[in-house]
Structure 1
Amino acid sequence: MNKLARRSLQGLVLIVVLVVLGWIFADQLMPRAVGAPGHALPVVPGQTAIDRAVEPQLAAHPDESGAVMVSDGLDAFALRAATARASGRSLDAMYYIWHDDITGRLLGRELWMAAERGVRVRLLLDDMDTAGKDAALVALDAHPRIEIRLYNPARNRSGPDRVLEMLVRGLNLNHRMHNKAWIVDNRLAIVGGRNIGEEYFDASTEANFHDMDVALAGPVVDQASAIFDRFWNSEAVIPVDAMTSVSKKEIDAFLAMIEAESNTEAAQKYLLRVAREVPIADYFEGAVPIHWSARMQVLSDPPLKWKEDSRPEWLVEHLARQLGSTRQQAMLISPYFVPGESFTGKLVASVAAGKEIGIITNSLAANDVLAVHGGYSRYRKDLLKGGVKLHELRAQPGEVTGHSLLGSSGASLHTKAYVIDDEQGFIGSFNLDPRSMKLNTEMGLLFEQPGLAKALADEYRYLSSPTLSYQVTLDETGQLVWLDARSTPPARLHKEPESSTWQRAVATVMRWLPIESQL
């Protein structure tokens, strides 16, 4: 064995040993929670603008929750900013991703201004997206009324030590908090699929997502706050100031930068939308449709999902029971769709039992994660042979900017929802894939309300319309065909539409690899 081969073997053995040790001692290596317990502040009737906006509606609908569907990206940004400005007591937010871009910094500024008015602010972020953002996070956290905590964080914040920790704790760090919630005064909550970033608010010049939130009032807000508190006080979460520190000079520079940015032309586009077009009254004084029901629940996986033995508490179990109650029709929207053999079999069996099953997901050209498309494509023919109706969102013309190994596209589906029998459904963060089922924590609204179900069904029909999507079928030889119904008769495409040879090759390789459990 030559010297190079010997060193390569030694390196491989070292990596294996580190991974095994990390698996055995993952809990011991994980940073310990050191934050004081914290809880949602109690509601005081009439105390804040949010209280006064929702109380008349709540009085008219006792023991019911109200829901407003929010599909427009600019409205979604403006609603968050407007409710932050109207807050008077507390603002709790938890997100998988909070980008350091213009929308992320503007909403960070709204948190700061709320704290300046006396509002208590708690921000809980998954640590996966925080690399390089410690200065910004600590700058916000430095405010006496703002506290920021990180979920399942890396002890080492940068450099080779962080890389080594990621390797040793790799299996543990693979579990992420995918929840999304914005809770104001413990009176109003926004949950759904959106993270914080330009692409989620129709603000990106390169790539945007079709996404969905639901704004909530009533008893479900208490449920959302209880979920937030459970995560906030979990042993998986620690304060950012226990992990890192920055100088006062860095803090002052960051605050000066976001204040200056708020006066730019780009920022004013969003701030003017907040000021002029999305007052709180529009949402909870009858200007938009509010769907009221006593049969709504905000549910989440437990914070330490990977250590919990009680599967009935997992969100996937609640969704499975609701989907299993389908009598006639189920419409599913999932950007990252990897059904696996079991769920594929259940969908096909439902069709055999006389039920109509429709699915919309991303096409290869629109998918921002090529590995996921590889996993999904493995089940496509079985679904179609079983009678499942399948639509794939097309990439929007003129916006595709190229793909990396993991993907990057001009327009992608990001909504995670389904509607059953025109009367019940789900809107949240849960993808129909193994990662949402077993690895990440997920959150969302389960509802039984015909008006909200109709609104969601209308969104499904919009997304699956010929303008936005291809219908996928099989030809007489059993091969895949994409129907482009923008023309009459529909054009018949026999390979992944709008995709490159590189994209198709990568997706094929990913399909072959034994990585489905990680998708």
Structure 2
Amino acid sequence: MKRPQWTAGNRIDLLENGESFFPALFSAIESARHEVLIETFILFEDKVGLALREVLVDAARRGVRVDVTVDGFGSPALSETFVRGLTEAGVRLHVFDPPPRLSRRLRPFRRLHRKIAVIDGRIGFIGGINFSADHLMDYGPESKQDYAVRVRGPVVAQLRHTARTLLEPGDEPRRWWPPRGATPTAPASPPPAAGPARAVVVTRDNHRHRDDIERMYRLALHAAQREVIIANAYFFPGFLLLRSLQRAARRGVAVHLVLQGQPDIPWARWAARMVYGQLMRAGVHIHEYCERPMHGKVALVDDAWATVGSSNLDPLSLSLNLEANLIIEDRGFNRALRDKLQPLMRDSCRRLRVEDTAVRRWWWRFGVGALVFHVLRHFPRWLARLPVQPQRVQPAAETPVVVPAPSTGPAQAWQWHGMRRLGEEALE
């Protein structure tokens, strides 16, 4: 199995929420000259999706090769008008494993959950932010708290290879079908050095990289000496990762988990609370973010290890979905991420006590707790035995189009151009 390769000479800029992410990405697309690659779990036909379509159409019309891949389960309701506007301009819109109409809601497993964008092989983006209006603050109390990064430097070639391999499997196991008419694209030479960071792209799939992301987390926890901060949306890790968190806390590392206190999926909080007791008894500090739904997938360890990506710490991400994280070694980036997470813990979270969990109740200690322990220990292996259904990347022209249900109001185009300066100032 090929191991991920660290590359030096990268610049990594942290982007918080859609207000920073969308202007940075759209500006990069506007400057594209040769190629735009995008993978996303969710693309909605709201003001963000319409703004994305506008910049992609403009890029395609000036001769840029544009490939956009969406997940068939996460993006099920793009109208014919929306799709035609892209494809007629020359955008290659692909759908990962589009489910049949009648079973659209019955195939939630093994999804394309990655969020990657690469422009001209020289600027990359990776994180947890989808193309939907609920990543903007003006969405209201349900707007999501999330993170992504803008990447320059040699590691962008790894991001590009990850995205292109999905469309052009090459010598990978042929579990996906390349779109009709696709022509192989020669690998781009790595971009020149742009900063001080060492970085590597780590993926999770169902063939050769089944546990690479989890293994990187465990290695970092094993090496931790002073501090660990993990902010994650959906938290229900397996036995090995739980044990690594407990061991780090027991040897004196300050382990902080920032998890959902106001979940967008109600059962997510219930599942996470199943493991709070054993973690807190080992000394792990748990903070529930209560201001808005937490959608981030970031972590830092000590002064020079961090990760940003699409992978949650739950069974779907760690055992089933296609995921991608960037692992970063850079003191400056760690300071920037810590400066975002510490005020979050201090001002917008409720720190839990052991009394807030079920661990002291007799029915938990002698019944449910033991059951949960053994389920966690074996759950990843059970999930891995689920059949690997034939999955393919299919051109949107061959995919049944679903007309979205009427919304509560008209979809308004997002005037992102006025946000560009705000996003640039956030990175200065």
TM-score, normalised relative to structure 1: 0.61
Residue from 176, 181, 188 that aligns with 1:236: 176
**Structure 1 residues 73 and 445: CA distance shift in structure 2, 3 A:** same
Find out whether 1:104 has 2:49 as its counterpart.
Answer: yes
Relative to 1, partners in 2 of residues 1:298 and 1:93: Cα closer, same or farther, differing over 3 Å? same
Once the 2 structures are TM-superposed, how far is the Cα of residue 441 of structure 1 from its aligned partner? Answer: 1.2
Contact 1:65 1:294 in 2 (8 A): yes
Letter aligned with residue 349 of structure 1: R
| 1:200 equivalent in alignment to 2:120 | no
Matches of 2:231 and 2:148, distance apart in 1: 13
Aligned pairs for 1:219-258 (under 5 A) are 219-234=154-169, 235-236=175-176, 239=179
Partner residue of 2:362? none
Q: Which residue does 2:69 correspond to in 1?
A: 124
| CA shift digits 1:240-293 (9 cap, x unpaired) | 999xxxxxxxxxxxxxxxxxxxxxxxxxxxxxxxxxxxxxxxxxxxxxxx9933
Task: Render the CA deviation track for 1:74-112: whole Å, top value 9, x for unaligned.
Answer: 121111221111112111110010111111111111100
Compared with structure 1, are the counterparts of its residues 233 and 140 closer, same or farther at alpha carbon in structure 2 (3 Å cutoff)? farther
1:473 has 2:418 as partner:
no
In the TM superposition, residue 327 of structure 1 has moved relative to its aligned partner by: 2.0
Task: Give the conservation status (yes or no) of the 8 Å contact 1:326–1:421.
Answer: yes
- Structure 1 residue runs of 5 or longer lacking an equivalent are 1-61, 243-289, 397-410, 482-510
Structure 1's 79 and 431: CA in aligned 2 closer, same or farther, altered over 3 A?
same
Shift of 1:63: 5.3
Aligned residues: 344
Report if the CA contact (8 A) 1:153-1:237 is conserved. Answer: no
Q: What are the residue-to-residue correspondences of 1:343-492 with 2, within 5 Å? A: 343-363=241-261, 366-394=262-290, 396=291, 411-465=292-346, 467-474=347-354, 478-480=355-357
State the one-letter code of the partner of 2:87: A
Instruction: Report if the CA contact (8 A) 2:196-2:330 is conserved.
Output: yes
Equivalent residue runs for 1:267-286 within 5 Å: none
| Offset, 1:238 | 5.5
Using the alignment, how far apart are the partners of 2:216 and 2:85 within structure 1? 37
Cα distance per residue 1:378-434 (max 9 Å; x no partner): 11111111111110011x3xxxxxxxxxxxxxx211111111112111011111111
- Whose relative contact order is higher, 1 or 2, with alpha carbons under 8 Å and at least 6 apart? 2
One-letter amino acid of the structure 1 residue matched with residue 249 of structure 2: V
* Partner residue, 1:298: 201
Aligned to 1:11: none
Task: Tell me how far apart the structure 2 counterparts of residues 75 and 309 of structure 1 sit (CA, whole Å).
Answer: 34
- Structure 1 residues 291 and 457 mapped into 2: Cα distance closer, same or farther (>3 Å)? farther
Query: In structure 1, the residue corresponding to 2:131 is in which secondary structure?
Result: coil
1:334 corresponds to 2:279: no
> Aligned AA for 1:451?
G
> What is the CA deviation profile of residues 352-374 of structure 1, one whole-angstrom value per residue up to 9, with x for unaligned ones?
112211111011xx111122212
**Counterpart-to-counterpart distance in 2, 1:240 and 1:204:** 38
* 1:85 alignment partner in structure 2: 30
- State how far apart, in whole Å, the 2-side matches of 1:63 and 1:326 are: 22
Determine the C-alpha separation between the residues in 1 that align with 2:350 and 2:21: 27
Q: Does the residue aligned with 1:436 lie in a helix, a strand or coil? A: helix
Would the alpha carbon gap of residues 106 and 418 (structure 1) be closer, same or farther in structure 2, given more than 3 Å must change?
same
Contact 1:422 1:457 in 2 (8 A): no
Q: CA deviation at 1:239?
A: 4.3
Q: Does 1:321 align with 2:219?
A: yes
Contact 1:150–1:237, Cα closer than 8 Å, also in 2 = no
Matches within 5 A, 1:24-103: 64-103=9-48
d(CA) in 2 for partners of 1:93, 1:328? 37
Deviation of 1:464 (Å): 0.6
Structure 2: unaligned runs, 5 residues or longer: 1-6, 170-174, 183-192, 359-371, 384-428
From the superposition, tell whether residues 310 and 100 of structure 1 become closer, same or farther in structure 2 (CA, over 3 Å): closer
CA contact (8 A) 2:203 2:209 kept: no
**Residues 212 and 237 of structure 1: is their aligned pair in 2 closer, same or farther, counting only changes over 3 Å?**
farther
| Offset at residue 190 of structure 1 (A) | 1.1
SS at match of 1:296: strand
Q: Could you tell me which residue of structure 2 aligns to residue 181 of structure 1?
A: 116
TM-score relative to the length of structure 2 = 0.74
Percentage of pairs with the same residue:
21
What amino acid is aligned across from residue 361 of structure 1 in structure 2? Answer: L
Question: Measured at CA, do residues 153 and 379 of structure 1 come closer, stay the same or move farther in structure 2, by a change above 3 Å?
Answer: same
CA distance in 2, matches of 1:144, 1:100: 17
Contact kept, 8 Å, 1:209 with 1:414, in 2: the verdict is yes
RMSD: 2.8
User: Judging changes above 3 Å, is the alpha-carbon distance between structure 1 residues 479 and 88 closer, same or farther for their aligned structure 2 residues?
Assistant: closer
Give 3-state SS (helix, strand or coil) of 2:66's partner: strand
Aligned 1:149-164 pairs, distance under 5 A: 149-154=94-99, 156=100, 158=101, 162-163=102-103
State how far apart, in whole Å, the 1-side matches of 2:276 and 2:67 are.
Answer: 43
Greater gyration radius: 1
Letter matched to residue 302 of structure 2: D
